[in-house]
């Protein structure tokens, strides 16, 4: 079964929700750690070994024409060189993801409080008006409404369960990370970044649950993966490189891999859950095409589903 992810997001397409399996996730403090096999970054995947995505994100994010079948241009080579220099750094500079420095610690703190007694969680959630509204909205969705009306926040938290609560927290807190940034590419992609990350998170979480992996770690992977796009476009803008839009397929193919590695470089400091930390290490070391972590391997099929959904709208 599709689990709680289908209930949480089925309203977007108007499809009826699928009843969930009755399964509760253990608190984050006891999740199993899945370490990647190789945590040393390489950033040397040859171009010929990279396969382009069937439905690349780049044209959709920039709302431009399809990719061109041309060789790498000088500007594209310069852009990839700039990204390689960033990947050689020990960490992503904070000025490339300024909102993450404030928001990720808040997410970590809240997620770690979800193993407290329900009244204590409700008290903490109740201090945030937007977070409270999102929890109540989910608990009042068609599936949960069939179980009875929700009268208060504590009852809503009990209904949606641990994973549902953690996902609402992530959605509410992380959205500002994808606010449009200044710059030719960053500013152009910004308005669509949140929509893409939310769709990717939904499909990665669903696939993770179906494969017996942590649905929340899959959701976080999809939700935060586009920080790699944010960093990549900001680096290119700050280097003063003017890319032709649409770019070449050859450029976009290498860019996809570097975006994944940049996400891993940024996320290696985000100790949200033990499983997510391992995902970040794998993304940094192995990129998109050679992922070893079982959840990271779901990113490609999740991306395909994500783009099919976005292009159908």
From residue 69, how far is each of 46, 78, 253 by CA, in Å? Answer: 19, 19, 12
Question: Residue 53 has what pLDDT?
Answer: 54
Residue 142, domain extent: 100-178
Q: Which of 154, 178, 202 is the last residue of a domain?
A: 178
| 195 & 298 share domain | yes
| Integer Cα distance of 216 and 218 in angstroms | 5
| 75 & 44 share domain | yes
| 220 & 257 share domain | yes
| 142 & 45 share domain | no
pLDDT in tens, the chain (313 residues): 335 444 444 445 333 333 333 333 333 332 333 333 344 444 444 434 445 456 889 999 999 999 999 999 999 999 999 999 999 999 999 999 989 988 999 999 888 888 889 999 999 999 999 999 999 998 888 878 777 778 899 999 998 888 889 999 999 999 999 988 889 999 999 999 999 999 999 999 999 999 999 999 999 999 999 999 999 999 999 999 999 999 999 999 999 999 999 999 999 999 998 889 899 999 999 998 889 999 999 999 999 999 999 999 8
Whether residue 23 is contained in a domain is answered as no
Q: Which of 178, 207, 229 is the last residue of a domain?
A: 178
Question: Does the pTM exceed 0.85?
Answer: no
Whether residue 28 is contained in a domain is answered as no
Question: Residue 54 has what pLDDT?
Answer: 66
| 226 & 239 share domain | yes
| Integer Cα distance of 19 and 3 in angstroms | 7
| 223 & 135 share domain | no
């Amino acid at each position: 079964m599709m689990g709680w992810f289908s209930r949480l997001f089925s309203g977007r397409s108007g499809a009826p929700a699928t009843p969930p399996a009755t399964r509760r996730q253990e608190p984050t403090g006891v999740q199993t750690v899945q370490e990647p096999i190789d945590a040393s970054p390489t950033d040397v995947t040859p171009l010929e070994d990279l396969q382009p995505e069937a439905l690349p994100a780049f044209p959709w994010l920039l709302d431009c024409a399809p990719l061109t079948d041309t060789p790498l241009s000088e500007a594209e080579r310069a852009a990839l060189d700039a990204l390689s220099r960033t990947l050689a750094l020990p960490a992503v500079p904070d000025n490339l993801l300024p909102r993450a420095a404030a928001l990720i610690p808040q997410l970590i703190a809240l997620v770690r409080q979800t193993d407290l007694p329900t009244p204590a969680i409700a008290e903490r959630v109740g201090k945030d008006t937007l977070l409270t509204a999102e929890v109540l909205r989910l608990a009042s969705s068609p599936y949960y409404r069939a179980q009875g009306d929700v009268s208060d926040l504590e009852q809503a938290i009990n209904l949606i369960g641990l994973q549902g609560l953690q996902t609402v927290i992530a959605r509410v807190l992380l959205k500002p990370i994808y606010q449009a940034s200044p710059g030719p590419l960053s500013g152009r992609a910004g308005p669509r970044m949140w929509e893409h990350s939310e769709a990717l998170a939904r499909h990665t979480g669903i696939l993770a649950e179906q494969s017996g992996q942590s649905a929340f770690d899959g959701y976080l992977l999809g939700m935060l993966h586009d920080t790699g796009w944010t960093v990549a476009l900001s680096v290119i803008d700050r280097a003063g490189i003017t890319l032709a839009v649409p770019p070449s397929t050859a450029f976009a193919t290498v860019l996809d891999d570097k975006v994944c590695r940049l996400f891993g470089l940024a996320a290696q400091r985000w100790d949200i859950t033990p499983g997510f930390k391992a995902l970040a290490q794998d993304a940094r070391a192995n990129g998109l095409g050679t992922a070893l972590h079982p959840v990271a391997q779901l990113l490609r099929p999740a991306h395909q589903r994500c783009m099919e959904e976005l292009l159908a709208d």
